[in-house]
Amino acid sequence: DAGVIQSPRHEVTEMGQEVTLRCKPISGHDYLFWYRQTMMRGLELLIYFNNNVPIDDSGMPEDRFSAKMPNASFSTLKIQPSEPRDSAVYFCASSFWGYEQYFGPGTRLTVT
Amino acid sequence: LAKTTQPISMDSYEGQEVNITCSHNNIATNDYITWYQQFPSQGPRFIIQGYKTKVTNEVASLFIPADRKSSTLSLPRVSLSDTAVYYCLVGGNRDDKIIFGKGTRLHILP
């Protein structure tokens, strides 16, 4: 298996633009997680899905953030409109169950 | 969900054994202890997981005392490439909120 795949690897955008991050989990994994990592706040769980259903989105910072998982092999995290404070590395991870997760390489987002 | 406490940073030298201890005083009966490693510019990588006593794999050993209120990740004969942040997580319920915390920044010196 190729592991968790994320795209794009780097994204630079201007404030106010829509940003869409994509994730393909490892085949057969029931859980999918989206995290955000910054120097100040560390690694934060934003939302996670079980069998394509969002279970806990309490970490999503505000309504500008949304995530979907239309099928078992694809998920998106969307920010609209983006702001400079959204600049961070966004990781997607998948697992059979919660505590043995496999992370993707991350998307480094810069909002200017 | 059990809260964990681990040192913010540690230094060691190549070839030494490194032990990182994590405290989790309110661990629940069904909680597992899981450790991750994160290199700069990469996502965290699962290292090892255990419930009690000792677990060993090709990367590390995990020691868990009988009361399970702490655990120790042991890295044998570290090299410069073991410089990373190490996270201790505790939980077991499928609906637990997973919290990584700040981790321990391990710096290996030549």
Look at residues B109, B95, B102 and name the one whose alpha carbon lies nearest to residue B7. B102
Among chain B residues, CA nearest to A42: B102
Q: What is the pLDDT of residue B44?
A: 95
Among chain A residues, CA nearest to B96: A98
Structure confidence at residue B2 as a pLDDT band (50, 70, 90): low
- With beta carbons under 8 A apart, name residues in chain A contacting B95: 55-56
Among chain B residues, CA nearest to A100: B46
Distances (CA, A) of A38 to A53, A87, B33, B58: 27, 8, 25, 31
In angstroms, the separation between the Cα of residue B104 and the nearest Cα of chain A is 12
pLDDT of A100 higher than 90:
no
Question: Among B46, B98, B104, which would you mutate to test the A interface (most chain A Cβ atoms within 10 Å of its Cβ)?
Answer: B98
Do B101 and B6 contact (CB within 8 A), yes or no? yes
d(CA B59, CA B52): 18
Omega before A8 within 30 of 0, i.e. cis? yes
Q: What is the pLDDT of residue B5?
A: 93
Percent of chain B residues topping a pLDDT of 90: 78
- With beta carbons under 8 A apart, name residues in chain A contacting B92: 99
Q: Do B97 and A45 touch (CB under 8 A)?
A: yes
d(CA B100, CA A105): 17
Do A89 and A109 contact (CB within 8 A), yes or no? yes
B7-23 mean pLDDT: 97
pLDDT of A60 higher than 90:
yes
In angstroms, the separation between the Cα of residue A80 and the nearest Cα of chain B is 25
